[in-house]
Structure 1
Amino acid sequence: MKKVGTLNRRELLKRGGVVGGVLALSPLLQEVAMAAPTMASAPAGGDGLRIGKRIYESIGVRPMINARGTFTIISGSLMLPEVRDAIDAAARHYVHLDELADAVGTRLAELTGAEFGLVSSGCSAGLTHATAACVAGGNPDLHVRIPDLAGFQKTEVIIPRHSRNVYEAAVSAVGVRVVEVNTRAELEAAIGPQTAMVYVMAGPRVDDSELHTRAIADITEPRGVPLLVDAAAEILTIPNVHLRNGATLVAYSGGKAIRGPQSAGLVLGREDLVRAAWVHSAPHHGFARGFKVGKEEAIGMLMAVEMWVRRDHDAEWAQWTSWLEHIASRVEKVRGVTTRIVQPTGLSNRTPSLRVLWNEKELRLSGSTAVSALDAGEPRIACSSTSSDGLTGVSITPYMMMPGDERTVANELYKLLKNPPPQPETPTLPPAVDLTGRWEVQIEYLASSSTHVFELTQQGNEVTGTHQGEFVSRTLSGTISDRQVRFRSNYPESNGDALSFTFTGTAGGQAMAGALDMGEYLAAKWSAKRRG
Structure 2
Amino acid sequence: MTSKDESVYSELGVRTIINARGTNTVLGGSRFSEKVLAAMQEANTAHVDMEDLLVKSGEKIARLVGAEAAFPTSGAFAGLVVSAAGIMTGTDREKIMNLPKTKGMKNEFLLQKNMRYMFDRCIEVPGAKLKLIGDQHGASSQTLSDSIGPKTAGLLYPVHLASNEGAIPLASALSIAHEKGIAVLVDSAFQLYPLDHFRSLITSGADLLAFSSKYMGGPNSVGFICGKKEYVEAAASNSFLAYERPGTFSVGRGYKLDRHEITALIAVIEEWLDMDHDNRIKTMEMHLQVIAERVSDLPNVTIEEVAAAPGKPPWPQLLVHIDENKLGKTAKQIEQALIDGEPSIWINGGGTATNLNKNSLIIRAIDFAEGDDQIVAERLRRELT
> Deviation at 1:204?
3.8
Q: 1:343 aligns with which of 307, 315, 334?
A: 307
Q: How does 1:55-454 map to 2 (within 5 A)?
A: 55-152=8-105, 154-182=106-134, 183-205=140-162, 208-235=165-192, 237-238=195-196, 240-255=199-214, 257-285=215-243, 286=249, 287-332=251-296, 334=298, 337-386=301-350, 392-418=359-385
**Alignment coverage as a number of residue pairs:** 368
> Deviation at 1:205?
4.3
Q: Which has the larger radius of gyration?
A: 1
1:49-94, Cα deviation, whole Å (9 max, x unpaired): 6688732122111121111122212222222221121111112211
Distance in 2 between the 1:276 and 1:348 partners?
Answer: 29
Letter in 2 for 1:262: N
Q: Identify, as 1 or 2, the structure richer in strand.
A: 1
1:452-482, Cα deviation, whole Å (9 max, x unpaired): xxxxxxxxxxxxxxxxxxxxxxxxxxxxxxx
**Could you list the runs of 5+ residues in structure 1 that have no partner in the other structure?**
1-47, 419-532
If the length of structure 1 is used for normalisation, what is the TM-score? Answer: 0.64
If the length of structure 2 is used for normalisation, what is the TM-score? Answer: 0.88
> Deviation at 1:220?
1.3
Distance 1:268 1:402, change over 3 A: farther
Letter in 2 for 1:268: C
Give the structure, 1 or 2, with the largest relative contact order (CA under 8 Å, sep 6 or more): 2
Matched residue SS, 2:319: strand
Letter in 2 for 1:178: L
Distance 1:65 1:105, change over 3 A: same
Asked if the contact 1:375/1:381 (under 8 Å) is kept, the reply is yes
Matched residue SS, 2:220: coil
1:92-149, Cα deviation, whole Å (9 max, x unpaired): 2111111111111111111101111111011111001111111111221211111111
Asked if the contact 2:331/2:358 (under 8 Å) is kept, the reply is no
Asked if the contact 2:102/2:128 (under 8 Å) is kept, the reply is yes
Asked if the contact 1:328/1:339 (under 8 Å) is kept, the reply is yes
Distance in 2 between the 1:177 and 1:363 partners?
Answer: 47
Q: Which moved more, 1:374-383 or 1:409-418?
A: 409-418
Matched residue SS, 2:84: helix
Distance 1:215 1:352, change over 3 A: same
> Deviation at 1:401?
2.7
1:134-167, Cα deviation, whole Å (9 max, x unpaired): 1111221211111111233x22212221222221
**Could you list the runs of 5+ residues in structure 2 that have no partner in the other structure?**
135-139, 244-248
Asked if the contact 2:70/2:227 (under 8 Å) is kept, the reply is yes
Percent identity at matched positions?
27
Q: Which moved more, 1:358-367 or 1:162-171?
A: 358-367
Matched residue SS, 2:63: helix
Distance 1:170 1:391, change over 3 A: closer
Matched residue SS, 1:378: coil
Q: Identify, as 1 or 2, the structure richer in helix.
A: 2
